[in-house]
Structure 1
Amino acid sequence: MIYLKTEEEINLIKESAQVLGKAHAEVAQWIKPGITTKKLDTIAEDYIRSYGGIPSFKGFNNFPASLCMSVNEVVVHGIPGNYELKDGDIVSIDCGVKLNGFHSDSAYTYPVGEVSKEVMDLLTATKKSLYKGIEQAVDGLRIGDIGFAVQHYCEEKGYTVVRELVGHGVGRELHESPEVPNYGKRGKGLRLKEGMVLAIEPMINLGTKSVMQEKDGWTIRTTDRKYSAHFEHTVAVRKGKAEILTTFDYIEQVTANTSLMVEVK
């Protein structure tokens, strides 16, 4: 069942998304070599709860933390712990907030210290592909148009698209129908309708598209251990042009003119 949201419900998601965007920015200020992923998780949870929100991920299918912290070859669902970020790492931070009964969901991948040009290009391309996908989240187009836009852009640049993990609907539940793959064919799949709210989240690899799950039951990494990047927005399908409900503005205010900035031109 796909639930079309009313304008009131979309506005509630946007309120949740404001807290989420600010929580991301709060965490971003602390990203540097030597900090543990567990410390960043605590910062996020404290911030979200201080605004009356609930971390969407904590306890979801028994996930133990508020952030998915995915370092280097980890694609998604990394569990925060005692790992200390190092110069040259990248870290994908995926977070959700529930506020006033509605969830929002977004992710951003940060370079830590100085990373290679090859890795920075991966981050830039993945972020750009997110917006390519969002351009297709328009009433009357199809799910396959979103996936095709992401896939075509990334594969042209020599990257690979993870198949096993996809975007999803968002609303009263963190994960709702429909699934939103990052690959597909133009004009194929479910027809998009105004009022759908989707999490679009490209997961793009430097090497093979093949992934595996670690023994913890959560952590997904590339099989060749090459880096993977992940960016995500929660988006409302509209007529003419999609509306981005989450925001990177707060992140980009605190990362401007720093090595954490991932710039898309």
Structure 2
Amino acid sequence: MIELRTPAEIEEMRPAGRFVASVLEATSKAAAVGVNLLELDALAHEMIRTAGAESCYIDYHPSFGASPFGKVICTSVNDAVLHGLPHDYALEDGDLLSLDFAASVNGWVADSAVSIVVGTPREEDLRLIETTERALAAGIAAARPGNRIGDISRAIADVAKAEGYSINTDFGGHGVGRTMHGDPHIPNNGRHGRGLPLKPGLVVAIEPWFLQTTDRIFTDPDGWTLRSVDGSRGAHSEHTVAITDGEPLVLTRRD
């Protein structure tokens, strides 16, 4: 079911957005050569406890997950692009790391993701990350009354295709509110003028993610982590956005 939020409810969602942004800022800053993925998860877990927030991930068990997730942040490294389950791995120089985090504060959820390079970057990794960020900005710009879901999707796809990246539509953006995942689904490819009309009060997570040389993925033996079939690297950018009568409101904007 698609729910529209009142202006007052959107204001109530701001603390969740600020908290999610702060966790991604802290974990991105902490990610360095030699740092273990489990340390990043522990940092996020401690920030949740300190803030009195609730994890959206630790007990999360959708049909595509092998078991409850059991951690509080997704850490996808190199050829992993989504749902990366934190495990005993020390980050190495040049790793491409995507961090995806969602939490509930006072009963409202926000969801966001960022990709970074640890240590010495590769030019092709920086280009991939920058493309996901530009695609996210394009999708956000299209998130306004009078447009439709397809306009967000097409704006994302236009950026990806201009850079030569193919697009997987199995996973994409989604509604956000009292729970992490809700309607509508927002694929990262679509057609202008198609799909649900966008109205003020709709709150969604917009999340382009691309792989360097494929759009095909498989599930790691851990039952969660999604990897490219050809070993190419992936990047992921995401914000929670409220559609208003004016400009889109990015609730998870990082300083």
Q: TM-score range by the shorter chain?
A: over 0.9
Structure-1 residue corresponding to 2:208: 202
1:167 aligns with 2:173: yes
1:94 aligns with 2:103: no
Deviation at 1:173, TM superposition (A): 0.9
Deviation at 1:18, TM superposition (A): 0.9
For residue 54 of structure 2, what is the amino acid of its counterpart? I
1:69 aligns with 2:81: no
Counterpart secondary structure, 2:24: helix
1:123 aligns with 2:129: yes
In 2: Cα distance, 1:16 partner to 1:35 partner: 27
Tell whether the 8 Å contact from 1:93 to 1:109 is kept in structure 2 after alignment.
yes
Deviation at 1:186, TM superposition (A): 0.6
Tell whether the 8 Å contact from 1:20 to 1:48 is kept in structure 2 after alignment.
no
Structure-2 residue corresponding to 1:254: none
For residue 167 of structure 2, what is the amino acid of its counterpart? V
Deviation at 1:59, TM superposition (A): 0.9
Tell whether the 8 Å contact from 1:233 to 1:246 is kept in structure 2 after alignment.
yes
Deviation at 1:243, TM superposition (A): 1.0
For residue 11 of structure 1, what is the amino acid of its counterpart? E
In 2: Cα distance, 1:177 partner to 1:126 partner: 22
1:107 aligns with 2:98: no
Structure-2 residue corresponding to 1:181: 187
Paired residues in the alignment total 249
For residue 171 of structure 1, what is the amino acid of its counterpart? G
TM-score, normalization by structure 2: 0.95
Q: Deviations over 1:10-47 (max 9, x none)?
A: 11211111111111122122111111101100001101
In 2: Cα distance, 1:165 partner to 1:172 partner: 20
In 2: Cα distance, 1:151 partner to 1:216 partner: 30
1:4 aligns with 2:10: no
| Percent sequence identity over aligned pairs | 37
In 2: Cα distance, 1:204 partner to 1:148 partner: 14
Structure-2 residue corresponding to 1:255: none
For residue 156 of structure 1, what is the amino acid of its counterpart? A
**Could you say what the CA RMSD is over the residues aligned between the two structures, in angstroms?**
1.0
Q: Deviations over 1:118-169 (max 9, x none)?
A: 1111111111110000011111211010010011111111112222111100
- Unaligned 5+ segments in structure 1 are 250-265
Tell whether the 8 Å contact from 1:102 to 1:172 is kept in structure 2 after alignment.
yes
- Unaligned 5+ segments in structure 2 are 62-67
Structure-2 residue corresponding to 1:41: 41
In 2: Cα distance, 1:248 partner to 1:154 partner: 23
Counterpart secondary structure, 2:30: coil
TM-score, normalization by structure 1: 0.92
Deviation at 1:248, TM superposition (A): 1.8
Deviation at 1:215, TM superposition (A): 2.6
Structure-2 residue corresponding to 1:257: none
Counterpart secondary structure, 1:190: coil
Deviation at 1:241, TM superposition (A): 2.1
Tell whether the 8 Å contact from 1:205 to 1:226 is kept in structure 2 after alignment.
yes
Structure-1 residue corresponding to 2:14: 14
217, 226, 239: which one aligns with 1:220: 226
In 2: Cα distance, 1:5 partner to 1:234 partner: 14
In 2: Cα distance, 1:229 partner to 1:184 partner: 20
Counterpart secondary structure, 2:92: coil
